[in-house]
Amino acid sequence: MSKHSWRGAVLALPIALLTLIPLLVVLASFLHPQPEIWAHLGQYVLPDVLRNTAILLFGVGFGVLLLGVPLAWLTAVCEFPGRRWLSWALMLPLAMPAYVLAFVQVGLLDFTGPVQTLLRELTGDSSWFPRIRSTGGVVLVLTLAFYPYVYLLARNAFLTQGKRALEAAQMLGYSRPAGFWKVALPMARPWLIGGLTLALMETLADFGTVSVFNFDTFTTAIYKSWFSLFNLTAASQLASLLVLFVLVLVLVEQRARGARAYHGRIVAAERIVLTGWARPAATLFCLAVLAMAFVIPLLQLLVWAYSVLATDLDARYWGFTLRSMLISLAAALVVSVLALVLVLLQRHYASRATRLTVQLATLGYAVPGTVLAVGVFVPIAWLDNLLLPYAHALGYEGFQILKGSVAVMLLALGARFMAVAFQPLESAMQRVSRNQEDAARSLGLSNRQLTWRLHLPMLRGGALTAVLMCFVDVMKEMPITLMTRPFGWETLAVRVFEMTSEGMWANAALPSLMIVLTGLLPVILLVRKAE
């Protein structure tokens, strides 16, 4: 392998460049130091936001595991009333944009919301009611919004080995709970880390949700420097630090994971049938999460959407929806194929250089969207400026060649969402053991045949998850769509932006609702297939 140590990196580089070029544009900001802004931020802004960001990362990280892992275990390994439909229904919150969830929950639970208003009408006082616009509130909402990443990936892990691992542990004399903690959970580690990584990267990049709570994070400081202090350079410097932080985390995790093996035989095992109080408790737990993360916000969206239906819904919505679906599907497929190539390269050329290149390719997910959008746009505009004189000489009259083309839009979305497709595929690859590869080779399979006949079939579940998560994420994405879309290319997410930018939340409910409903289609279809 060692003689190929650079080949994998070189082959992965073109894909990594999609992300690396925008990141380098952001990083180039360090060529222009901004001491004044930094002095101000250092004294009055950073101490608070760093503390808040740390709290948020721990809170959300803990929260998504606390919800995602038990839900995945219950629906993948156990049997209880409602298990069959809950197992896919619990993925639905993935389609609910986090900022929408935030706005709905704040609207319902704040002082002026219906819950506290009712309390005041009944008892005359609602001051004891916990404040939703608080650290706890923002952690709760982000947890509800991002737990599906952990749930989806952990479920894949448990479906492929959970029950077997538990049985093996029991044969070794462990009790059932001990078997879960000592064997099943550690065996699922790459999946858990994968889901956790996505949830934390999205938490770091989030601006929409925290601004509904007015909770200042590192991302808030980035946008404050840019939008309020008119200093894009300082904002880019802050964003670079964020990326470096994530890179270090990812590499440390890789190192800790080391050479442990996570593969096992995939056998359809009998489910553990829950008995006694555990049966209703499992159903109730699933229902409670589903209600808070999806059903209640969905109902609120329905009420709002209904109130503006007569004035806002028109024939253009067909176009918005169609374009949203097209771009999401195309981007999901492109990103998933690229991520698949990365995963295969990482397997074939297992060197540190390859791994680093591949990890770099996934960093776009941790960058606040608007900053990444500028990083994407600057090199494209530069290329356009280079090409336009020639195009004009040939009689072309426009001023956009690459800019505003759907192809560039797809690549830009690729830079953002590579991590989302990569994590499930990489975890799935852990199930393919070196022994299986050796056995296949000893049967005379070439490397190419190995890919087609062993890797790809075993990656099917992971690939479905990748496509599904990317589809839904692209559907919700705003900044890159806004920055790279062609003139007149309006999607549902663009529509949400138009409404929320002026604080018209009831009007934003209609396109948000359409995003959620359109997002449901692939969730239901793909999940049924995967079962």
Partner 1 sequence: MKRLTLSVLAMSLLAGWAHAETVTVYSSRNEQLIKPLFDAYTKETGVEVKVLTDKEGPLLARLQAEGSNTPADMLITVDAGNLWQASNMGLLKTFNSKVVNENIPAHLRDPRGQWTGLSVRARTMVYNPSLIKAEQLSTYEDLADPKFKGKLCLRTSKKVYNQSLVGMMIAQHGEAKTEQVVRGWVANLATDVFADDTKLIEAVAAGQCAVGIVNTYYLGRILDKLPADKREAYPAKLFWANQKTNGVHVNISGAGITRFAKNEAGALKLIEWLSSDKAQNLYADKDLEFPANPKIKADVIVSSWGPFKQNLINMAKAGELQGKAVQLMDRAGYK
| Sign of the alpha-carbon torsion through 106, 518, 409, 342 | positive
Is residue 226 part of the contact set for partner 1 (CB under 8 A)?
yes
78-79 and 272-273: which strand pairing? parallel
* Exposed / middle / buried, residue 395 (Cβ in 10 Å: 0-12, 13-18, 19+): exposed
In the three-class reduction of DSSP (H, G, I as helix; E, B as strand; rest coil), residue 522 is classed as helix
Q: Under the criterion CB under 8 A, does residue 378 sit at the interface with partner 1?
A: yes
The answer to whether residue 384 forms part of the interface with partner 1 (CB under 8 A) is: yes
Out of 11, 15, 45, 408, name the contact with partner 1 by CB under 8 A: 45
Query: Quick one: which of 272, 296, 494, 524 contacts partner 1 (CB under 8 A)?
Result: 494
Q: Which of 343, 334, 531 has its CA nearest to residue 429?
A: 343
Asked if 277 interacts with partner 1 (CB under 8 A), we say no
Nearer to partner 1, 85 or 227 (CB): 227
What is the rounded CA–CA span in Å between residue 515 and residue 96?
8
Cα atoms in the 13 Å half-sphere on the side-chain side of 470: 34
Residues 327-366 that bind partner 1 (CB under 8 A): none
Structure tokens, 412: 């830009």
The candidate with the shortest Cα–Cα distance to 363, out of 20, 29, 60, 14, is 20
Smallest distance, Å, CB 405 to partner 1?
13
Min. distance of Cβ 226 from partner 1 in angstroms?
A: 5
Does 370 bind partner 1 (CB under 8 A)? Our answer is yes
- Among the residue ranges 39-47, 194-202, 318-326, 468-476, the one whose residues contact partner 1 (CB under 8 A): 39-47
Contact track, partner 1, 47-86, x by CB under 8 A: ----------------------------------------
Contacting residue, 501, 521, 525, 529, with partner 1 by CB under 8 A: 501
The CA distance from 182 to 188, in Å, is 11
Among 399, 407, 438, 446, binds partner 1 (CB under 8 A): 399
Which helix (H) or strand (E) segment holds residue 205: the answer is helix 189-205
What is the helix (H) or strand (E) element at residue 77, kind and residue range? helix 46-77
Residue 315: Cβ within 10 Å count: 6
Residue 99 binding partner 1, by CB under 8 A: no
The residue (of 106 and 250) whose beta carbon lies closer to partner 1 is 106
- Helices then strands, counting H and E runs in the chain, come out as 27, 2
Give the interface segment with partner 1, choosing from 63-71, 228-236, 278-286, 445-453 (CB under 8 A).
Answer: 228-236
482 binds partner 1 (CB under 8 A): yes
Contacting residue, 258, 448, 503, 531, with partner 1 by CB under 8 A: 503
Nearer of residues 401 and 466 to partner 1, judged by Cβ:
401
Q: Is residue 451 a contact partner of residue 344, using CB atoms and an 8 Å limit?
A: yes
Residue 320 lies near partner 1 (rule: CB under 8 A): no
Nearer to partner 1, 200 or 374 (CB): 374
Q: Does 373 bind partner 1 (CB under 8 A)?
A: yes
Number of residues that bind partner 1 (CB under 8 A): 53
DSSP 496-515: HHHHHTTT-HHHHHHHHHHH
3-state secondary structure 434-492: HHHHHHHHHCCCCHHHHHHHHHHHHCHHHHHHHHHHHHHHHHHCCHHHHHHCCCCCCCH
User: Which has the closest alpha carbon to 206: 414, 412, 420, 367?
Assistant: 367
- Nearest to partner 1 of 251, 388 (CB atom): 388
Which residue among 202, 426, 473, 490 contacts partner 1 (CB under 8 A)? 490
Tell which positions 233-262 bind partner 1, by CB under 8 A: none
Q: Which of 382, 390, 396, 452 binds partner 1 (CB under 8 A)?
A: 382
**Residue 214 lies near partner 1 (rule: CB under 8 A):** yes
Residues within window 402-431 making contact with partner 1, judged by CB under 8 A = 403
Q: Does 398 bind partner 1 (CB under 8 A)?
A: yes
Query: What backbone phi and psi angles, to 5 degrees, belong to 273?
Result: -85, 120
When the beta carbons of 337 and 506 are compared against partner 1, the nearer one is 506
By rule CB under 8 A, what string of x and - marks binding of each residue 127-166 to partner 1?
----x-x---------------------------------
Residue 491 interacts with partner 1 (CB under 8 A)? no
Among 385, 435, 446, 449, binds partner 1 (CB under 8 A): 385
The runs of H, that is alpha helices, within 349-459 are 352-361, 369-393, 406-429, 434-442, 447-450, 456-458
* Torsional sign, CA 308, 314, 316, 322: positive
Q: What is the DSSP letter of 51?
A: H
- Farthest CA pair distance, the chain: 80
- Interface residues with partner 1 (CB under 8 A)? 40, 44-45, 106, 110-112, 117, 131, 133, 211-214, 216, 220, 223-224, 226-230, 232, 370, 373-374, 377-378, 381-382, 384-385, 388, 398-400, 403, 479, 482-483, 487-488, 490, 494, 497-499, 501-505
